[in-house]
Structure 1
Amino acid sequence: MNEVNTSKICSDILTEFGFPNESLISLVDKWKFFVGECEDGYDWDYSEYRNELKVRTLIEHILNDKRISASNSLHDLILEVQKNDALFKCILQKENHIEGENWWDRGVLEFAGDEYCLYMKNAHGIYVKKI
């Protein structure tokens, strides 16, 4: 499969999910930025956190497409996703999880800002260290 076809498939998938102006590259960049924010101590509220996690879900929809997984042209981007997944897993609490469809949805940050910490305590009874 050539790059043009892969790009078109990604574009079609993202358009189907309501994100026609995004690309796999832009999503991977956003995932990397978000993971970096979380490593520094996520300083926004939980609803914003959940909204930003949608980027990883969109990436997953693309990666799960059989035409994409059969392609070698996205190898470097897939490695970047895996690298950031590993970084993100390192800053999630090992003992606490919440309900969610994917591992990133179920994860609870080790440390974050006041609003995230307060939400986790009130909604789930989970202690999150404040930054």
Structure 2
Amino acid sequence: MTGDFCSVFVEVVRSSGQWRYLEPEALMGKWEQFVADCERGYPYDREDYFNDRTFRGSIEDVLNAPVLQDFSEMVVFRTRVEIIDARFRPLLIPDVFPKFGEEEWWLRGLVRYARRKLVSEVWESFGVEIAEVE
């Protein structure tokens, strides 16, 4: 793959299965917004929560893509991911979904608190209790 950082980035993200938010700022923005929503108490339903976590999987594909490693922009991108991840990790009850590999920590864990909709759906679907916030 050849081209500038953004075009190569888009191809990597597209190959990960993501069909929207392909550019670096867009993908990072979605991950950051998801984490911010979780910090306040995730306000949407279970389907949205599990869908929004997929942004981090696409980010992981980017972080591990050999074709992107020589771009200087990756240093900034990686640093921003680390900062956002550091905000998200403490929000999780670890290992709720142990079938995911340990390297997919964002999929293994579940937020500790959320709004009523997600709280009730998580309890009904998985029997896992998380705190409700208003």
Q: TM-score range by the shorter chain?
A: 0.7 to 0.9
> SS of 1:71's equivalent?
coil
> SS of 1:100's equivalent?
coil
> SS of 1:30's equivalent?
helix
Partner of residue 24, structure 2: 24
Find the aligned partners of 1:36 and 1:9 in 2 and give their Cα distance. Answer: 28
State percent identity of aligned pairs.
22
Structure 1 gap segments, 5+ residues each:
none
Q: TM-score normalized by structure 2?
A: 0.84
Partner of residue 6, structure 2: 7
The 8 Å contact of residues 24 and 59 in structure 1, kept in 2 or not, is answered as no
Q: How far 1:36 moved relative to its partner? A: 0.4
CA spacing shift, 1:71–1:39, aligned 2, 3 Å = same
Q: How far 1:45 moved relative to its partner? A: 0.7
Q: TM-score normalized by structure 1?
A: 0.86
- The runs of at least 4 consecutive aligned structure 1 residues that moved more than 4 Å come to none
Structure-to-structure mapping, 1:54-73, within 5 angstroms: 54-73=54-73
Partner of residue 86, structure 1: 86
Q: How far 1:20 moved relative to its partner? A: 6.2
CA spacing shift, 1:115–1:66, aligned 2, 3 Å = same
